[in-house]
Amino acid sequence: MPKTNEQDSLFDIEPLQKESKETITGNRLSPSKLEKLSLIHEMYEESDDELSFLSEIIKPEKQPSKEEILKNAKWSIYGTQVHNLMYFAQIFERAKALGRKPKEEDIRNTFVYRDRQFYRTMRELLLLTDYDSSNPSQSFWNEWRMKGQDFNPEDNSTYIIKPDEVQKIWEDSPVPLEDIHQLYESMKKEDERKFNPHETLLINEVTTITNIYFSDSNLQVPSVIDEIVIPKNFPKEPIHIVDYKTGKQFKEPGVVEKKQAFLMITAVYANILSKAGSAKFGPSDWEVGHNIYEFPAFKKRSLRVLPVGSIYAEDLIKDIETINNCITFSYVDPLTQRHIDFTTKESGTETQEEMAETLYYLNSLNNFYSKYKEVLGARLKSNDSLYHLPTLSKDLIWHSPSTYQPYLI
């Protein structure tokens, strides 16, 4: 996108304007909505006039067939189960590095933004784990998969794929044994420091809310980041963001993927970077004295409360050197541990000019959405009405031996 005079002045925000940011129009757009919005914006730019664009947008979208929805549900379940198998395998490997079994506090220090019920259920699943099996972390995953899920949506919505159909796909498990075996074999090739809690702080499914203030609009972006890895010697070594991609999702990044990576980098910059130095690594004198070593954690629970970070667009541009030196980003295939490492150019942070261009693009989408919000709202709705993935259950589900067949590699 060629740089324009409008783009040059976009980030020249005077102090008076900063103080009145609350009066500026703002929108809350997730990365997935921004992805859809980007495609619609392309249609808008290619349309002959506003009327033809609006007439096209208000047309109802063609609903996919049930076969297509079932296929999407299966791959969504596959991705969810593989992601969690990866998370759990790492927790068990990190506990093993400390010479002990995983415990509830490890879950708390890995999944840092969950409610008490989540930790209570995970603790119960740890108690059900077969530690004498050939693969305890897979045993835990099996218990989570078969006993820890609630398939009944709270809102009683009518779904195309009924909850009992989703439950059958989930419990039959679309993850074949060879994929599970490959995941564990690939983990052996990873850098051992990642599994050493004395060297690395690792958190999964990190939820953040980032407010980006432009001169003429505000954009709030909620994000869920698969993994953030903070080395003990930070900032000598950067924080690393991992976005796990399975199947066809693991590919060379296109425009959409690059923008989503940029948003995750921005979220870490606004929400995590200032807190990274407060990470407490062991072993402490207490740990040595009791021979019970802990996962690293943040002092004073500084990351226990859902972080809401705010940043001015021009400040991102000014601090580009810090961003490039302190944050890296990769796609990772959990089955093979293949990496696609994003360069600063790919993530839109190589130069101040590229950073400004990316922010200008986001601001353009935000203003476009504000202008046509009434007609765009319906088009940006998610596919939540098609099927409902399970949530962690408050009460564990008990199967009869004939229906519950856990398998281990």
pLDDT tens sequence across 254-286? 888 899 999 999 999 999 998 888 888 877 756
Please give the single-letter amino acid code of residue 37: L
Q: What's the mean pLDDT in 291-298?
A: 84
pLDDT for the residue 57: 84
Task: Answer with the residue of higher pLDDT: 224 or 306.
Answer: 224
pLDDT for the residue 305: 60
Residue 297, judged by CB atoms within 10 A of its CB (0-12, 13-18, 19+), counts as buried
Checking if the pLDDT of 351 tops 90, the result is yes
Buried/exposed code over 272-293 (b: 16+ C-beta within 10 A; e: otherwise) = bbebbeebebbbeeeeeeeeeb
Checking if the pLDDT of 15 tops 60, the result is no
Q: What's the mean pLDDT in 341-360?
A: 93
Radius of gyration (Cα) for the chain, nearest Å? 23
Q: Which residues lie below 8 Å from residue 291, measured CB to CB, with a gap of 6+?
A: none
The overall pTM is greater than 0.85: yes
Please compute, for residue 216, the number of CA atoms within 13 A of its CA located in the half-sphere on the CB side: 15
Task: Answer with the residue of higher pLDDT: 6 or 103.
Answer: 103
* Percent above pLDDT 70 for the chain: 86
Q: What's the mean pLDDT in 218-240?
A: 95
Q: What's the mean pLDDT in 288-293?
A: 67
pLDDT for the residue 128: 96
pLDDT for the residue 23: 56
pLDDT for the residue 13: 33
Q: What's the mean pLDDT in 105-110?
A: 94
Q: What's the mean pLDDT in 21-33?
A: 79
